[in-house]
Amino acid sequence: MASGRRSITRNAKFRFGTLVKDGWFSATPDDTGISRAIRTNNPGALNMSAAWQRMRPGFVGQTPADAAGNVTTIYQTPEQGIAAWYFLLSNRYGFGKAGQFDLASVARRYAGQNATAAEVKAYTDGWSKWSNGALKPDTVVHFAIDEELLDFAKATFAHEAGAVSPLHDDQILYGFALERQTT
């Protein structure tokens, strides 16, 4: 796996880019006309909720709070955002120890401590929608099987963006590999 950015765009504050040749990235984290999950190079739309996020490779800041009070983490590259999402599932949620997770369990964690059953169901319904029905609440995803994790990631990223993610599969897989190298 090569290191270094393949494509870089500078804005007034940061250098945004991609770690994959011909990969997609955003250099406009402040463009509120674009979904947070897309414009922040944070396809999992991780909210800024803990200090660990500030220490992630590629962390460059956070968005202002939206109407619901959500503050989203901004990364230099989408691959670093994907690696942070992988870290969240594997380490912070603890699913990496088991080597797998079912979607209902991840939805409960993703929705937050005080989430209602309807909020949890919104995640599993969204993942099912964006996977054309392939993913269900009882679907088990194994961390060691990239195809399973990739399908889940694509459904999650589309759900968060409200549209199919512009990321290429190789960028998502690179993000997985990037995090696996550090753990």
pLDDT in tens, 24-63: 999 999 899 999 999 999 999 999 988 899 999 999 999 9
Contact between 105 and 140 (Cβ < 8 Å): no
What is the structure's pLDDT at 8? 43
148-157 pLDDT, tens digit per residue, is 999 999 999 9
- Residue 75 — φ and ψ, nearest 5°? -120, 155
pLDDT at 9 over 70: no
Residue partners of 138: CB distance under 8 A and separation at least 6 = 102, 103, 104
pLDDT at 68 over 90: no
Q: List the domain range (segments joined by +) for residue 95.
A: 7-182
Q: Is residue 178 part of a domain?
A: yes
What is the structure's pLDDT at 12? 56
In total, how many domains does the chain have? Answer: 1
